[in-house]
Chain A
Amino acid sequence: MNHPVVIVGASMGGLRTAESLRRFGYLGPITVIGEEAHKPYNRPPLSKEVLANEVTHEAVAFEERAATADVNWVLGTRAVSLDQEHNTVTDSSGMVHPYSALVIATGLRPKRLNLANGDLAGRHALRTLDDAINLRAELTPGADVVIVGGGFIGCEVAATAARLGCDVTVIHHSAHPMLRPLGTELARQMQLRHEAEGVRFLLNRSVVGVSGDSRIREVQIDDGSSIKCDVLIEAVGSDSNTEWLESTNIDLSDGVLVDSAMRAISTSGDFIPNVYAIGDVARFANPIFDDVPRRVEHWNIPTETAKRATSVIAAQLNEDEKLEKLLQDQFKPVPSFWSDQYDIHLLAFGSLSLSDTVTLVAGDVTGECVFEYHRGDQLVGVCGIGMRSVVQSYRAKFI
Chain B
Amino acid sequence: MIKVEVDMTKCQHYGQCVFEAPDIFRLNSDDKLEYTAEADDSERANIEAAIDVCPMQAIHIVE
Q: Which residues of A contact B (CB under 8 A)?
A: 16, 19, 23, 42, 44-45, 62-63, 65, 299-300, 303, 336, 338, 340, 345, 347, 386-389, 392, 395
Contact = CB atoms under 8 A, between A and B. Distances in A.
Interface residues on B, range: 10 to 19
Contacts of A44: 55
Interface in B1-44: 12-16, 18-19, 27, 31
Contacts of B53: 300, 303
B15 A299 contact: no
18 contacts: A42-B57, A62-B57, A63-B51, A63-B57, A63-B60, A303-B53, A336-B16, A338-B12, A338-B14, A340-B12, A345-B14, A387-B31, A388-B13, A389-B15, A389-B27, A389-B31, A392-B18, A395-B19
A340 to B, nearest CB: 7
Which secondary structure characterizes the binding site on chain B? mixed
Contacts of A336: 16
Interface of B: 12-16, 18-19, 27, 31, 45, 48, 51-53, 55-57, 60
A389 B51 CA distance: 20
B15 A392 contact: yes
Given A44-B55, A63-B60, A345-B14, 16 more contacts: A16-B52, A23-B45, A42-B57, A63-B51, A65-B48, A299-B55, A300-B53, A338-B12, A338-B55, A340-B12, A345-B12, A386-B31, A388-B13, A388-B27, A389-B31, A392-B18
